Structure 1
Amino acid sequence: MTGKELDRAVHEQLRTLSKENAEGVAQHLVMVAATLEADNLEAALAHAETAVRRAGRVPAAREALGMVAYRLGDFARALTEFRTLRRLSGSSHLLPLMVDCERGLGRHSRALELAATPEARTLTQDERQELAIVVSGIRRDLGQDDAALIALQIPALRQAAGPSVCRLHYAYADVLLGLGREEEAREWFLKAVEGDTDAVTDAVERLEELDGIVVELGEDDEEDGAEVSQAMVSEATAVPAEDV
């Protein structure tokens, strides 16, 4: 890890540091990403804390520590880091995670207030989707399932199935299922399967549950199981869901 793996925007932030310190912080930030991907949260935390000690006013360092704390479930610390990042950078791109931190701390009213701030209108489409998913989860926590469904009815929901909206389609299906609307839920799980090319959801398994299919795979059956999942994806492509 040389530190050169970081994107240009982060290197621009590091220009405020001495050359030696910038190189060291860059290496720690690269290691944060690598250890998070490997699910080695203790190592990720150590690298992130070192980056912040050496570059406390660099937004990327604060974001790295906040992300590690978030993954660890330390929502109070994550929220503090995300707030600091917003003050340093002026960006609200982590607003969905900030709202989720408030939710994780049990402060649902404060979370909903934060989600409704003017900064939410500055988010990108992907960020708005994440915020909608978090707000829907908060509404479900509060037993407001109808409001949870409405929270997900944003323009992106009507997009054709694809990787950029599969999590939104999955969340919508899950809320429909909670409301007892199984046939509609099945249609939206199918859309999620169609778009989920990287297997970020368990939509295939949820469809199998709805259809009463129970699959127990042994080691020798794993390859066959993969073929079953691919067949489900093919079926999803052939069965379009209705628009909202």
Structure 2
Amino acid sequence: MAEERGNQRPARGGGRPSGPRRSDSSSSGRGGSGSGSSRDARPSRGGDRDRPERSDRSRSTGDRPGRSSSGDRPGRSSSGDRPGRKGDWKRPVDKQLSRTESQAQYDGPDLPEEITGKELDRSVTGQLKGLPEKLAARVARHLAAAGMLVDSDPETAYQHTLAARARASRIAVVREATGEAAYAAGHYAEALSELRAAKRMNGATEYLPIMADCHRALGNPEQALKLAKSPSVANFAPEAKAEMTLVEAGARRDMGQLDASLRTLELAPLMNKTRANWVVRLRYAYADTLEAAGRETDALMWFHRTMAIDSDEITDAAERAEKLEQTRE
């Protein structure tokens, strides 16, 4: 699998400092003491007629309309900061939190130093070559980390793929990895969305069994059956075809159609001579459905047949068989 999307992705004020405030003394107008003394020295053009005093025309900040007695313009705070400029202005708390969460997702979980991205298959790294070198390396490391963790810690694997998706959302293999990790972590709606996106990008159909199972998990067995009937399923490899058979049989059971579920499984290669896991799982599903249908003798036989090839013990067929034997005694 692939690299970072932490769980995601980038968060996905203000300007210059205000200048010093104009004080009352500096805005006292043209009638200050310095300018007044120079006017007194000039001869009066009106003879003995007195000129009106100019002091009442001085630019006292309190006399001008639109200003307060402190000299501040409307809309300014007493500290002199202007809206939209640096000072005490801060982003609203809700937006700060949103950005922090998004940034954490973009950063993703910590990457172990030993993970280099070279662990990925060449078919995966080949799709990353269109990215800048450093970006491709980062995405590759998150994908590699996700692949290593998907079985043991699927949630952390999913967060790695979210970080990868945040950096390379237009690359099909990244969306595929995100979908698979989301599926493993139980995020079925997200998995379905990501795998649909990957399918649109590369036209691949191998995602169909997982997509169908996502529909089941979301309570839409009818949609799962539609995908199970896709023409491309006929061309699937045996393992992928078995996966789709299991999903189809499960969807029939979800709808209460036990007989249809049994018929679906009976058409599968239950007696295939290989001991591959997909045969083990087919036999186990058939035994389980037989028991659900009340056919305990047949179910016991198929649990034993499952045990015979389940050398890795991927099922609990042995326990199920023992329990059935005890109930029949």
TM-score by length of 2: 0.61
- Partner of residue 309, structure 2: 195
- Counterpart among 182, 195, 199 of residue 69 in structure 1: 182
Residue 125, structure 1, aligned to residue 125, structure 2: no
Give the counterpart letter for 1:14 in structure 2: L
Moved more, 151-160 or 6-15: 151-160
- Partner of residue 94, structure 1: 207
Give the counterpart letter for 1:12 in structure 2: G
* Structure (1 or 2) with the greater helix fraction: 1
- Counterpart among 203, 208, 211 of residue 325 in structure 2: 211
Q: 2 CA distance for matches of 1:27 and 1:17? A: 14
How big is the shift at 1:174?
A: 0.7
How big is the shift at 1:99?
A: 0.6
Describe the SS at the equivalent of 1:97.
helix
Structure with greater Cα Rg:
2
Moved more, 127-136 or 71-80: 71-80
How big is the shift at 1:133?
A: 0.6
What is the number of equivalent residue pairs in this alignment?
A: 212
Mapping of 1:53-68 within 5 angstroms? 53-68=166-181
8 Å Cα contact 1:75-1:104 kept in structure 2? yes
- Partner of residue 276, structure 2: 163
Residue 28, structure 1, aligned to residue 148, structure 2: no
Give the counterpart letter for 2:238 in structure 1: Q
Give the counterpart letter for 2:159 in structure 1: A
Describe the SS at the equivalent of 1:211.
helix
What is the aligned-residue RMSD (CA, Å)? 1.6
- Partner of residue 136, structure 1: 249
Identical aligned pairs, as a percentage? 41
Mapping of 1:77-116 within 5 angstroms? 77-116=190-229
Give the counterpart letter for 1:184 in structure 2: D
Higher relative contact order (CA 8 A, sep 6+): 2
Mapping of 1:8-47 within 5 angstroms? 8-41=122-155, 43-47=156-160
4+ residue segments displaced more than 4 Å: none
8 Å Cα contact 1:76-1:105 kept in structure 2? yes
8 Å Cα contact 2:245-2:268 kept in structure 1? no
Q: Which runs of 5+ in 1 are unaligned?
A: 214-244
Measured against aligned partners, the alpha-carbon deviations of 1:9-50 in whole angstroms (never above 9, x if no partner) come to 112212222222222111101111222222251x22221111
8 Å Cα contact 1:161-1:191 kept in structure 2? no
- Partner of residue 145, structure 1: 258
8 Å Cα contact 1:145-1:175 kept in structure 2? yes
Measured against aligned partners, the alpha-carbon deviations of 1:171-201 in whole angstroms (never above 9, x if no partner) come to 0111111122222212211221122222211
How big is the shift at 1:71?
A: 2.4
Give the counterpart letter for 2:324 in structure 1: L
8 Å Cα contact 2:142-2:160 kept in structure 1? yes
8 Å Cα contact 2:158-2:185 kept in structure 1? no
- Partner of residue 228, structure 1: none
How big is the shift at 1:58?
A: 2.0
How big is the shift at 1:155?
A: 4.2
Describe the SS at the equivalent of 1:67.
helix
Q: Which runs of 5+ in 2 are unaligned?
A: 1-114
Q: 2 CA distance for matches of 1:209 and 1:130? A: 27
